[in-house]
Amino acid sequence: MTAISLPARKPGKASPATLVSATFATVRARLLIVSRYKGQLFNEILTPIVLAAMPILLGRATAGDRAAEVFLANTGTANYVGFMLIGSATFVIVSNAFWHIANWLRWEMETGTLESIYLTPTHRVFVAAGTGIYSTSRSTVGAFVAYLIGSAIMGINPFQGDLLIAFLFILCGLIPLFGMTLFYGALVLKLKEANAMLNLMQWVVNFLMGVFFPITVMPAAAQLVAKLFPPTWMTNGVRSAMLGVGYFFGEWYLDLAVLWFFMLAAPMLGIWAFKKIENSVRRNEGVGQF
């Protein structure tokens, strides 16, 4: 038998490289598992197109030929098709991130694999990070393809405005999203329930992000709440970069700075909440009970 030695440090203490390796092993395992469910990618691409098609067609039905003109007056862009497609694509990324973390925890509770993970010395936050990276990569690719197909079907140019800045907003929006999903995952760990919370969350996220409308048309108090939600800044940043709807603080770098703040605060809050609830669960019924 070939001798294999564990690292020469206190057992259970891992180097950052080892933890990154464990995180990406989780991404790989998730991808392998989803690859065995055929049809998932098709579903992923279809959802944002169908989601965007509904308000686009409603707009055409109600405003007729003046749809673009009316939309321009309220939002700063006449490209309502692009507006909806970007909104629904980013919504799918955000929504999937919540779904994937909640389903990951819930599913693994039920199958017993969550306890298997807890028996290893890798902290669950890194396994959750792997699940988050898997989720956002899968959803971002799916949303991008859906955006391209949707643009072709609706007859708009998908590549307009400043694409680099739009990409920056997406990239910077994904990290606070991970922190929020971790916070949400902590609730699932405690309440042992995912579906009802996910259903409620879908509508709240949809509303706060302004998926189908600019949040400037919301009441002032609701706008304030929406601006506490990082994906709102991500969506508006992408729309502003590509369609010119206007940044909240006038300049792209100021809006991006707000996302940077969320990038630090949201993961810290998420990790704190996850660890806190995890300890509370271990103190009583344990993570395997569902």
Partner 1 sequence: MLGTVVIENLSKTYHTKQRKGLFKSIPRDVESLKGISLEVEEGEIFGLLGPNGAGKTTMIKILSTLLLPSSGSARLNGYDVVADDNAVRATVGCMLMGDRGLYWKLTGRENLIYFGALYHYSPADRKRRAQEIIDMLELGDLADRSVETYSSGQKMKLAFGKSLINDAPLLILDEPTNTLDVPSASELRAIVRQKNQQEGKTIIYTTHIMAEAETLCDRVAIIDYGQLLAIGRVPELKASLGREHITRIAGVIPSKAVEAVKALPAVSQATLGSVDGVAELTVMSHNGADTLARLIEVLGQIGATIQKITPQDVTLEDVFIAKTGRTLAENTAVETGAKK
* Distance from C-alpha of 184 to C-alpha of 180, rounded to nearest angstrom: 6
Query: Applying CB under 8 A, does 18 fall inside the site for partner 1?
Result: yes
| Inter-residue contact 146 to 92 (CB < 8 Å) | yes
CB 127 to partner 1: min, Å? 7
Give the C-alpha separation, 213 to 94, whole Å: 17
Least distance (Å) between residue 11 CB and partner 1? 4
Interacting positions 58-117 with partner 1 (CB under 8 A): 111-113, 115-117
Decide: is 16 part of the binding site for partner 1 (CB under 8 A). Answer: no
Asked if 284 touches partner 1 (CB under 8 A), the answer is yes
Q: Which stretch binds partner 1 (CB under 8 A): 26-34, 51-59, 142-150, 257-265?
A: 26-34
CB 267 to partner 1: min, Å: 21
Of 30-38, 58-66, 233-241, 247-255: span binding partner 1 (CB under 8 A): 30-38
Selected binder of partner 1 within 16, 39, 64, 119 (CB under 8 A): 119
Q: Does position 36 bind partner 1 by CB under 8 A?
A: yes
With a CB cutoff of 8 Å and minimum separation 6, the contacts of 40 are: 34
Q: Of residues 118, 248, 252, 290, which one binds partner 1 by CB under 8 A? A: 118
Does 196 sit near partner 1 (CB under 8 A)?
no
Does position 1 interact with partner 1 (CB under 8 A)? The reply is yes
Please spell the DSSP secondary structure of the chain, one letter per residue.
-------SSSTT---HHHHHHHHHHHHHHHHHHHHTSTTHHHHHHHHHHHHHHHHHHHHHHHHGGGHHHHHHHHHS-S-HHHHHHHHHHHHHHHHHHHHHHHHHHHHHHHHSHHHHHHTSSS-HHHHHHHHHHHHHHHHHHHHHHHHHHHHHHHT--SS-S-HHHHHHHHHHHHHHHHHHHHHHHHHHHHH---HHHHHHHHHHHHHHHTSSS-GGGS-HHHHHHHHTSHHHHHHHHHHHHHH----TTSSHHHHHHHHHHHHHHHHHHHHHHHHHHHHHHHHTT-TT--
From 93, 168, 174, 287, residue interacting with partner 1 (rule: CB under 8 A) = 287
Query: Is 13 near partner 1 (CB under 8 A)?
Result: yes
**Choices 7-15, 66-74, 95-103, 150-158; region in contact with partner 1 by CB under 8 A:** 7-15
Q: Would you count residue 193 as binding partner 1 (CB under 8 A)?
A: no
Asked if 25 touches partner 1 (CB under 8 A), the answer is yes
**Residue 43 touches partner 1, criterion: CB under 8 A:** no
Q: Convert 105-123 to b/e letters by CB count within 10 Å (16 or more is b).
A: bbebbeeeebeeebeeebb
**Token couple for 289:** 């009970």
Q: Site size for partner 1, by CB under 8 A?
A: 42
Q: How far apart are CB 130 and partner 1 at their closest, in Å?
A: 9
Rounded to a whole number of angstroms, the minimum distance from the CB of residue 113 to partner 1 is 6
Figure out which of the listed residues 96, 122, 140, 236 binds partner 1, where binding follows CB under 8 A: 122
Residues lying near partner 1 in the complex (CB under 8 A) are found at 1-2, 4, 6-7, 10-14, 18, 21-22, 25-26, 28-29, 32-33, 36-37, 111-113, 115-123, 127, 279, 282-288
